[in-house]
């Protein structure tokens, strides 16, 4: 949370100083939505699961939504980062600061690919049942 707010402050200040419009790209819309959803998720989690803490039934009701929004916000953060890398690379190529196959462009493409690979493994880990849960399903069907 602290890092995302620092990042937002830094990019906002940079836009103000260079007199660049705010929030004109898809990346910036995705990023702002991501920060808003993450803040709501954080505040709701803190309020109900930590302090002052909700009732047992209230927490049981919220848990599946907490899990769903956790995955959703994670995917949104990956999409934001990939579009951020994409637009930065295109901006720099259009300004002739870097070439299409320059080391910088290849580094940014590789970072994007690694983010997609990482998120695929994370989502796989979340949805795969795991041995203990498979045993539970087997037990209940037999
Ligand atoms: C989850 C991660 C990220 C979030 C939440 C995020 C959020 C944002 C937001 C809200 C803005 C708009 C600022 C304004 O309009 O004043 C922005 C701008 C920008 N971001 Fe990101 N960003 C993220 C990752 C990245 C990454 C990985 C890059 C790649 C280097 C990047 C590059 C940029 C650039 C070049 C801008 C200025 C152009 C624009 O407004 O789209 N961002 N970001």
Instruction: Name the residue of 28, 76, 91 to mutate for ligand 1: max ligand atoms within 8 A of Cβ.
Output: 28
CB of 28 sitting under 6 A from ligand 1: yes
Would the pLDDT of 142 be above 60?
no
**pLDDT tens sequence across 2-35:** 999 999 999 999 999 999 999 999 999 999 999 9
Distance CA 86, CA 44 (A): 32
Q: Alpha-carbon distance 44 to 50, whole Å? A: 9
- Non-local CB neighbours of 108 within 8 Å, separated by 6+ positions: 85, 86, 88, 89
pLDDT digits 0-9 by tens, 108-138: 999 999 999 999 999 999 999 877 666 666 6
Nearest CA owner, ligand 1 atom 21: 84
Q: Where are the chain's structural domains?
A: 20-127
Rounded CA gap, 31 and 7, in Å? 10
89 lines ligand 1 (CB under 6 A): no
Any idea which architecture 20-127 has in CATH?
Up-down Bundle (1.20)
């Amino acid at each position: 949370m602290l890092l995302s707010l620092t990042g937002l402050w830094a990019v906002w200040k940079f836009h103000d100083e260079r007199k660049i419009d705010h929030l004109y790209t898809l990346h910036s819309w995705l990023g702002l939505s991501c920060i808003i959803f993450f803040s709501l998720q954080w505040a709701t989690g803190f309020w109900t699961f930590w302090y002052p803490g909700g009732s047992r039934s209230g927490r049981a009701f919220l848990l599946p939504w907490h899990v769903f929004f956790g995955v959703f916000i994670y995917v949104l953060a990956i999409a934001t980062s990939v579009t951020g890398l994409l637009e930065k690379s295109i901006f720099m190529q259009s300004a002739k600061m870097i070439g299409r196959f320059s080391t910088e462009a290849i580094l940014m493409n590789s970072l994007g690919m690694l983010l997609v690979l990482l998120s695929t493994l994370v989502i796989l880990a979340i949805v795969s049942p795991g041995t203990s849960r498979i045993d539970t399903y087997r037990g209940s069907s037999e």
